[in-house]
Structure 1
Amino acid sequence: MSSYVDLYPHSDFPFIVPPLRDCLTIQAPCSMSLAPRNTTAYWHEVSDYFCFLALPVIMSLAVVMEIMSVMVLARQVRQSLDTYLMGLSLAAILLLTCTTLLALQHYMGPDPYLVHTQPYTASCRDWFWYSAIWLLVMMSFERVLTVSASRATTLCSANQAAVVVVMVFAVGLVSALPRFWEYQAAWLHDPATNRTALIAKKTASTATEEYNIMYFWYVKSVTLFVPFLMMISMSVTMGCRSRRSVLTKRYVAVKHSNGVALSRKIKEESALSTLLIMLMSLYMLCSAPAGVLDLVAHVVPNWLDPTSRTFASLYNIFTVVFFFQFDMHFIIYFCFNKQFRITLLTFFCCCC
């Protein structure tokens, strides 16, 4: 006989971070009509347990890294890019916090307080997810305009960038507003066990097929189709416009003390463009698997049944991959932002 390792004892809910479907709780009424476990597909059990152990490590490290990034960027806010990056780090911290509250039920059990917070944390997770995506798009777009200008000019100040960051968070909130009325905590009776459990389930007004289809394609447009298309085009543009020969022409009219100063400035400008290209490439690389998985399961369920254990295991793996990107932000900032490195070293010197 083979023994199974559940994510949480006495739980048959295999999603570490619950997808936004009929309900969000690991209690029995929220089984979501999943197919029975395949007794021969042992990789489901192994991969789920690996994700169960890896997710808190990755998310804890990501929170620490993003907090350090905010502390460093707050001390050096001089350019618009620094303001954008600080906004991105704040959005990442809030996104990680909301996801932690959703996943905590697998590590603590179905606590009633967690169930009551799930409808709001699911909504806020979408809010900060949209904000993080479009902050990355906006800062990259501003960088494209900067490197495409005929002369070396600053198009956006740090204060103006702060206004844009606030506006992006506001637009993200508006985009996620339907989620705030989508789920509610309610008591449901489970006929199988003859017990009543508190679960976070969809409201009657949002459980309709029309609403789910419409909001599904809206979310895919906001998080997959439009940002990916813009990120690819902006990455190509920045790569072409950040070459040394092109940057040299832009700085011809700028008076530098000597050729060394000009070379240093061009190198810094090229590094900032590389930073944004790396951030966009990392986001697309880490989020595309989960987005494509959900898209295939929705459009072609014959290929991948969304109620199958294979879908659940792949969903968990791609969830871990998605959050891994936030562990890399600090490293990218350090490698491609000279002022970030200087401020970080100064910060640690002051602490010592």
Structure 2
Amino acid sequence: MSSHVDLYPHSDFPFIVPPLRDCLTIQAPCSMGLEPRNTTAYWHEVTDYFCFLALPVIMSLAVLMEILSVLVMARQVRQSLDTYLMGLSLAAILMLLCTALLILQHYMGPETTLVHTQPYAASCRDWFWYSAIWLLVMMSFERVLTVSASRATTLCSANQAAVVVVMVFAVGLVSALPRFWEYQAMRLHDPTTNTTRLIAKKTASTATEEYNIMYFWYVKGVTLFVPFLMMTSMSVTMSYRSRRGALTKRYMAVKPSTSAALSRKIKEEAALSALLVLLMSLYMLCSAPASLLELVAHVAPDWLSPASRTFASLYNIFTVAFFFQFDMHFIIYFCFNKQFRITLLTLFCCCC
């Protein structure tokens, strides 16, 4: 007689972060339409259990690093890039906290309070996710214009960048508005236990196939197709325009400078361009697997069914990879932003 040990505590709902499907709650009435579990595919259980343990650690560390980044940026806001980076860190913090509300049900159980917050957490998670993506695009676009100019001039001040950050958050809210009416907490009867349970379920008006298809392609356009195309082109342009020869020509066109000062300024400018290229590359590297997985499952369900346990396990792995990028932001800021390093050391010296 063979036995099977469940490593993952809720194997009937194997998604660590609930995908935006029929419902968000791990209660039994919340049917995800998953295929029966294959008891011979132990790698599903092992990877799910790894993600179950790793995701809270990764997200907690990311929140701490982003909060520290905001504190440092707030003390050094002197140019537009610092304002953009502070806005990016704020968007990341809010997105991580909203996601935490969605995954707490796996660690605390389906508490009534958590179920009531899930529709709003899912909506706000998308809002801050869109804002983070397009803040990265906007700051990179400004950087491309800066390094492409014939003269070394400042195109955007810190105050103007703050206005752009607020506008990006507003556009992100408008983009995520349909989510705020997509789910609601409701009570459903569970025939297996003959009890009534509270779950966060899609409303009738958003459960139609037309709505789901339309919004799926809209989300992929906002988070995958358009930003990836722009990030790729801007990374190539920024790398080409940030060569030493191109930067030297720009700064020499302004006024003569000493060799040491010119070399230092060119080095700082190249480092800031490298910072943004790394942020864009990191985002594309960490978010592409999850986005492509959902795209393949949607376009070719016969090849990879979204109801399969393999899809669920891959979804969890790629979700962990997606949130891992926010742990790296602080390291990138420290390595490629001289003023960030100086402010951070000053902050610690004041604390000591």
- With normalisation by structure 1, the TM-score equals 0.98
Cα separation, partners in 2 of 1:195 and 1:4, compared to 1, 3 Å: farther
Out of 296-305 and 253-262, give the one that drifted further: 253-262
Q: Which amino acid aligns with 1:332?
A: I
Out of 28-37 and 103-112, give the one that drifted further: 28-37
8 Å Cα contact 2:7/2:46 also seen in 1: no
SS at match of 1:28: coil
Deviation at 1:256, TM superposition (A): 5.2
Deviation at 1:139, TM superposition (A): 0.1
Partner of 2:99: 99
What is the distance in 1 between the residues matched to 2:62 and 2:119? 24
CA RMSD of aligned residues (A): 0.9
Partner of 2:90: 90
Out of 31-40 and 145-154, give the one that drifted further: 31-40
* Residue 330, structure 1, aligned to residue 337, structure 2: no
Deviation readout 1:243-295 (Å, 9 max, x if unpaired): 00000100112335510000000000000000000000000000000000000
| % same residue | 85
8 Å Cα contact 2:25/2:199 also seen in 1: yes
8 Å Cα contact 2:8/2:45 also seen in 1: no
Partner of 1:134: 134
8 Å Cα contact 2:4/2:39 also seen in 1: no
SS at match of 2:29: helix
Cα separation, partners in 2 of 1:240 and 1:193, compared to 1, 3 Å: same
8 Å Cα contact 2:22/2:31 also seen in 1: no
Q: Which amino acid aligns with 1:164?
A: V
Partner of 2:346: 346
Q: Which amino acid aligns with 1:25?
A: T
Deviation at 1:195, TM superposition (A): 1.7
Q: Which amino acid aligns with 1:112?
A: T
8 Å Cα contact 1:69/1:89 also seen in 2: yes
In the TM superposition, 1:145-224 aligns within 5 A as 145-224=145-224
Q: Which amino acid aligns with 2:235?
A: S
Moved over 6 A (4+): none
SS at match of 2:37: coil
What is the distance in 1 between the residues matched to 2:22 and 2:160? 41
In the TM superposition, 1:27-38 aligns within 5 A as 27-38=27-38
What is the distance in 1 between the residues matched to 2:5 and 2:96? 29
Q: Which amino acid aligns with 2:246?
A: V
Partner of 1:112: 112
Which residues of structure 1 form unaligned runs of 5+?
none
- With normalisation by structure 2, the TM-score equals 0.98
Deviation at 1:31, TM superposition (A): 2.9
Q: Which amino acid aligns with 1:183?
A: Y
8 Å Cα contact 1:116/1:185 also seen in 2: yes
Q: Which amino acid aligns with 1:8?
A: P
8 Å Cα contact 2:72/2:344 also seen in 1: yes
What is the distance in 1 between the residues matched to 2:193 and 2:9? 18
Which residues of structure 2 form unaligned runs of 5+?
none
